[in-house]
Structure formats: structure tokens, C-alpha cells
Amino acid sequence: MKRSLQPERDEALDEVPDDALANRRGEYFGDVLEKAVARRAFLKAAGALGAAGAFRGAALVIAPALIRPRPASALLGLWEDPGDRLAFKTVPPGDEREVEVPEGYAFDTILRWGDPLAADAPEFDLDAQTGPSQARQFGYNCDLVLWFPLSEAAAPGEAPEMASRSWPLVGTLRRLNPFSWRRGPTARALLAVNHEYTTGVDMFRSYRPGADRDQAEVEIEAHGTSIVEVVCDPEGRWRYRRDSGFNRRTTGSSVMEISGPLRGYALMQSAGDPTGTRVKGSLNNCAGGRTPWGTLLTCEENFDQYFANFDTVPSSHRRSAELSRRIPAMPGSTPRKWELFDPRFDLSRDPVEYNRFGYVVEIDPYDPAFVPRKRTALGRFKHETATTRVARDGRVAVYSGDDSRFEYVYKFVSRGRFDPRRRSANRDLLDEGTLHVARFDPGLGFDPDMGSGEWLPLVWKEGGALHRAGYRDQQEVLLDTRGAADQLGATPMDRPEDIEASPITGRVYIALTNNSKRSPEPGPGRFGDRDRDIELGPTAANPRGPNPHGHIIELIEEGDDAGALRFRWNIFVKCGHPDSPTDGARFGDVGDPAASGVSPISDPDNVAFDDEGNLWIATDGQYASEADGFGQNDGIFAVPVEGKQRGLLRQFLSSVPRAEVCGPAFSGDDRSFFCSIQHPHEGRAFEEHWPLDEKVVSKPSVIGVWHTEGGKIGS
Ligand code: FEO
Ligand code: CA
Ligand code: CA
């Protein structure tokens, strides 16, 4: 998010291949699904020949080879450098009023703020928006975009394993002719999109926080998540289906379950919900992730800005306030002043409600009736993202960053194991397990570039460190995740944003967006008023003070196992101008970035992988970095993380002024690319308009990008 206008405080399958069962690289649902489809198609074909038994063993080898040529082709000497996929012509940095994509590519808006998501939902009407109308329209400031496959026969409420029954034929066609599936008139998918925050001055001709209940209600309903069916036409252009039964909004007032260790806990029992089990709404949904069982994880990030009067919490609730000391709400009123209309946002009246925000929320996008669940076992902090990998033993790891200056990187590991045969068996996997926080140690003399690190368990036990630090139980540890992580000696980072794991290597990439407050002088100090002495100066994992442009860390789990408790790490990219000595930028193994055509980049935020294992990066803040000499629209950048071109980062898309770019996401065949253009012309949305055909107000929108000749994105 831009800091300028936000407060500174700051089963799947009834049958899957055996190799997917092991799921050693922690593939996502889509990968598992594709493998299952490929194998089922193979078995079906083999069965038709009356030879299923004979071919069964072969299928285990052939199915993955159909999906990912390596490493089988590597053994045959057919290895292609993954960076070869990225043959697009670099988009120059710019400040244009329209989105720029490489030659040979096209884009279109798919969803805009206010688009009606039901046949009978009201059309967007700037002068007549209400809470109920906004609740049935696409929300504001779209952020995360995730793509969920839909079979031709899928119907709302059916588990996707049922919905995928028609997939074998589709999958076979897709393998033989990748165009046939995506380009067919029946190509369907769901897009899950987060709506992070509202900017009233850009939404209402006259914004009157605290004086207009209708505006407050529109804002509350403009937050949350949209799940929308999209279909692809033969040209590669995706459109949303207004009348789809899959379409769904969750908002700042939707009813959600509290699940996991904090369900029913005393400090979760609010005035509005004495049971501590149900909560209204999810707020500031920033990034997120997709589980291997095909659900959405949506993250509550800067939730502190919605809750007023933290300084006047009644003394009867002192403990509750203490546990939020490291993540304080607003001392007085909030910028949006919802507290004047709804007591749940006023801590002087409902001191506990604040404890019920700051979580990862799980939603089943295939079931519009699913009640979202706040997964409290994953901790309470400013969750930027929730990225899932499956460990060697089948447990599920979820990586999450806490996006504030000098905050931490976390990893939850479930107690139970992922069951790829029965989707429903995974439903509550994220309710039990161990939350860890990362400590990044410097590299040793023989390899100073390769640091080591440890995942420190945030586990309370009688007589243990967290007990001795004053926590009374595990629930208090989860409520005050930041404070407990302080006690364990976690490493304060330069604003951890998105995290993704390579589908090829399993290595984990962490975007650290920037840290203007990192001191140039090494040594400890006190940051802000939070009573915490930390390493304020440069450290091994955060080596620049200040750090205006951010960096990307590559984390290698011990044994490439997502369940490991130790890791190695190095800094893959230090962002900046490739030709600026003062920036100190570095790009993987590229010796002379400027001569090699590396693009300038700052403020990495959301990241995604294509199916070759190239990293795609969305930025947030290049435009705002004008004072630092950047002053270019935010964009999308692609960079190989392996092979001869490791680090050759180039710009693929340039956005529009005052917008950040979020998402990014690929369709299952990598021939479509999706991203959010969030807050275009922020603060000036009535003076300048994007999309360009909007005549009254700029609208945050999701766009789709495709290669006009049908190639994979990047080619
Ligand atoms: Fe909402 Fe950390 O970006
Ligand atoms: Ca951001
Ligand atoms: Ca973000």
C-alpha cells in the first residue's frame, strides 16, 4: 500500500498420482490437479485399451514428464535455460498515463471497482453508492489476485474434485494443444481478489469521514475479497461473468468463524460476541495464497488503522491492551472514523474486538456458502501473505511476512498431514501446528554470501522462555506474536512483503520492500516508541541503511524440506538503478547489470513464479520514490533465479501514475497473466482517470495480459 494515504503506523481429488501424494516440492493445488488430470487421462486411455494395470507404473513416470520436462529432459541433455523463456522486449521505465506491455502483448481490464457481481446487483453509481450495493459489487483497491481452475461442468458448492470429473479430456487436449483449452469458448476460472483499503477522497465527490454513515458503510463493504468467475474468449481476453453463481463478496461485515487455539478464548470474547467464536468482517486484506487443497488464504495486514481509542482502553482490559502493545491501534480517532457509527471499532467501548483481527483467513472459493475461518494458529500480526508448501512428511508449511519496519518473517508448520485424496480431510489442517519466526545469521568466513538461519518455535510451555517472559499460555503468545518473537531473538527485517517458493527448486523468495528508518550506522537502537532495542543499523540480511529500494532474499530450507527448522540464505537481488554506484544494487549473478540490460527496480512487493521457475515481481512505491531519484510508474518485472541468466531482471509491464501493482498471477497454462492496478492516480482520482475510458473517477482494476500469438507469458 502507499504510505501517503494510509496511516504511517505503519481433496481435492478423488484420485491423484502417487508422486503428488508425496508432493515433495509442495506444489500448489493447480499443479496437483494438473498431474491428477494427466494421470487420470492416461489411465482412462489405458483402460480403454484394456491395459490399465500394465500401464499403471508407466503413468507414474509419464504424467509428471508431461507437466514439467525437467529433470527427465535434463538427463537426456535437453535442458533449456529457464531464462530462455523470457524473450519479451523490455518495457522501459515510464510515467505514462496508460499501462505499457511488451510488443506482441495485449491487455484489458477484467474487473473494476463497482462492477456488479450478480445479475440483479446494482450498477455502479458514484452518486448513489450504498453499503448494500457495494456489498454486491467489486470492491476497492484490489490487491492479491489468484487463479483457481474451473471445469466446464463445475457448479457452485461442488468440491473441485467433483468439478474436475470432466477434466481428463480437457486436460488431454490441453497437453496436445495448449491453445485448445484456454482458447476454447468454455475456458473458465475463478479469480480471487483482495480489496485492501479505501481512500475516501478518491471514492466520494465530497468525503466526510465521521459525518456520513452511508459513506462509512460503503467503505466497510468495499474492503474484503471478491471471488468472481471469468471466461476466456478465443483471442485470449478474459471477461467476468456477472451472473455466475460462484461470484461472492466477503467484506468488512461478513460473518466469519474464529478457529484454532484462540476460538472461544477469554480475550476473544467481545461485547458483540460473548462466545469468542464468530467475528464480523476481515479488513486490509493485502496478499495471500492458495492452499494445495484449493482454498484461498487472505491476509489481514494493517488492521490497526480501523480501531480507535487504544489509549483509553478501560483498566479492566489492561491485559488485552498489553498484548497489543507491539501492534497498537489508533490512540484517538481513526482516519475513517467508522467508530462513530459502529462501536466495534471503538476500543473504549469494545476493548476486545481488536484482538479478533490480524489473522490469515481461509475461504473456499468453490463454495459460495462457506463461512470464512480466521486461522488463529498462524499468529496475529500484519500478515502480508500466506504461502503454502508441503513438507517431506506431508505436513503443511505456511510462510508469512509481517510488513512493518523491523518486523519478522514467520513459518507455520501444521501438526497434521496433507491428504491429496480427500479434500475435506484438509479442511482444518491450519488450526493445529507450530508457528516459528526466522533468525537470519551471517555467513561464515568461507562463504560470507551464504548465511544460515533458524526457525524459532513460538511455543509456550511451563518454565520455558515465553512463560518466563510473562506469557500465561499459548493463546497469549499468539495474540502478541510480535512480542513473543522479540523474546526469541528473531531478526528484524526491512518490511517483509510477499513470499513465494519456486515450483522447480522449492527455494523460497522473500520480498523486503524498503526501510527508510534503517540506520546507516551499525549497532543497536530504539525504533519508534515501542520500548524495544533492536539492531537499527545494517545487518547481514538487511545490509543497507537506509534501504529505500528493498531487496529479495533467497531462502533454502535444509534438505529442501519446508518442514525444516534450519535454512541457508543469500541476497538474490538488491534493488535500485543498475548503473548507480550509490544504490549499491546487485542482481543475482549478473556481473555488469547496466550493460546486460537489467531494468531499474525499487520497492519489490508481490511475487509469483511462472511454470519454468522464473520469478515475477510487482512493485509498490517506485512512483512515490521520486525523491530518491526513481519517479517511474510501478510495474512488473521478470527474473530468472536459475541458470545462466540468474538475476537478469527486466521490466515486463509499466503501470500508471500513483498506482501500485499487485497480484501477480498466471493462468494454469501460463498463457494469461493477471495483476491489480491498485489506487491509480491515488489522491487525484477525480482529476485524472484510469482506466482511460472512465470519465468521472479512476477505478482500481484487475487486468489480464496475453500474447497476441498465443505464446506463454514472457515469450
Ligand atoms: Fe499491503 Fe504490505 O502491502
Ligand atoms: Ca504494498
Ligand atoms: Ca503488498
What pLDDT does residue 533 have?
86
Given pLDDT bands bounded at 50, 70 and 90, which one contains residue 552?
very high
Ligand sitting nearest the alpha carbon of 606: 3
For residue 543, the model assigns a pLDDT of 96
Q: What is the Å distance from ligand 2's center to 333 Cα?
A: 24
- Cα of 497 vs centre of ligand 2, distance in Å, is 7
Number of the ligand 1 atom closest to the C-alpha atom of 495: 2
For residue 629, the model assigns a pLDDT of 66
In the reported structure, the alpha carbon of residue 564 is separated from the centroid of ligand 3 by a whole-number distance in angstroms of 26
- Using CB distances shorter than 6 Å, the residues near ligand 1 are 1, 196, 286, 301, 384, 403, 497, 605
What pLDDT sits at residue 153? 85
Q: How far apart are CA 39 and CA 32, in angstroms?
A: 11
Which pLDDT score, from 0 to 100, does residue 532 have? 83
Q: Quick one: which of 635, 636, 596 has its CA closest to 615?
A: 636
Ligand nearest to the CA of 403: 1
CA 605 to ligand 2 centroid distance, Å: 6
pLDDT for 363 equals: 98
Q: How far is the CA of 498 from the centre of ligand 3 (A)?
A: 7
Encode pLDDT of 339-391 as tens digits. Answer: 999 999 999 999 999 999 999 999 999 999 999 999 999 999 999 999 999 99
HSE toward the beta carbon, residue 72, CA cutoff 13 A: 10
DSSP E strand stretches across 543-613: 551-557, 566-574, 586-587, 604-609
pLDDT for the residue numbered 625: 64
3-state SS assignment for residue 533: strand
% of the chain at pLDDT higher than 70: 84
Rounded distance, CA 503 to CA 334, Å? 42
Q: pLDDT value at position 482?
A: 97
Picking from 193, 302, 180, 159, the residue whose alpha carbon sits closest to that of residue 234 is 180
* Cα(30) to centroid(ligand 3), Å: 23
Residue 170 scores a pLDDT above 70: no
142 strand-pairing partners: 195
Measured from the Cα of 403, ligand 1's closest atom is: 2
SS3 514: coil
Alpha carbons 383 and 399: distance in angstroms, whole number: 10
Residue located nearest, by CA, to atom 3 of ligand 1: 1
Task: Tell me what the mean pLDDT of segment 236-256 comes to.
Answer: 97
In this predicted structure, the answer to whether residue 88 has a pLDDT above a threshold of 50 is yes
Atom of ligand 1 nearest to the CA of 197: 1
Q: Is the pLDDT of residue 659 over 70?
A: yes
Specify the range with the lowest mean pLDDT, choosing from 210-224, 524-538, 601-615.
524-538
* Structure-model confidence comparison of residues 404 and 11, the more confident one: 404
pLDDT at 52: 27
Closest ligand to C-alpha of residue 495 is 1
Spatial separation of the C-alpha atoms in residues 25 and 394, rounded to whole Å = 10
Say if residue 488's pLDDT is above 90. yes
Whether pLDDT at 79 is above 70: no
Ligand 1 centre from 680 Cα, in Å?
16
pLDDT-derived band at 312 (thresholds 50, 70, 90) equals: very high
- Ligand 1 atom having least distance to the Cα of 497: 2
- Overall average pLDDT of the 489-508 stretch: 97
Q: Where are the beta strands (DSSP E) in 164-309?
A: 188-195, 224-232, 238-240, 248-250, 255-259, 278-280, 285-290, 296-300
pLDDT mean over 226-241: 95
Find out whether 382 and 318 touch, Cβ atoms under 8 Å: no
Residue 627 to residue 402: CA distance in whole angstroms: 26
What is the SS3 assignment for 166?
A: helix
**For residue 622, which ligand has an atom nearest its CA?**
2
Measured in angstroms, how far is the CA atom of residue 620 from the centroid of ligand 2? 5
pLDDT (0 to 100) of residue 337: 98
Q: Verify cis geometry, omega within 30 degrees of 0, for the bond prior to 546.
A: yes
CA-based nearest residue to 424, from 495, 370, 466, 475: 370
What is the SS3 string spanning 82-138? Answer: HHHHCCCCCCCCCCCCCCECCCCEEEEEEEECCCECCCCCCCCCCCCCCHHHHCCEC
pLDDT above 80 (res 254): yes
- Residues 674-694, mean pLDDT to the nearest whole number: 98
pLDDT at 158: 87
Closest atom, ligand 1, to C-alpha of 620: 3
What's the CA gap between 196 and 5, in Å, rounded? 13
Ligand nearest to the CA of 285: 1
- Rounded to an integer, the average pLDDT of 310-327 is 96
- Give the position, in ligand 1's atom list, of the atom nearest the Cα of 196: 1
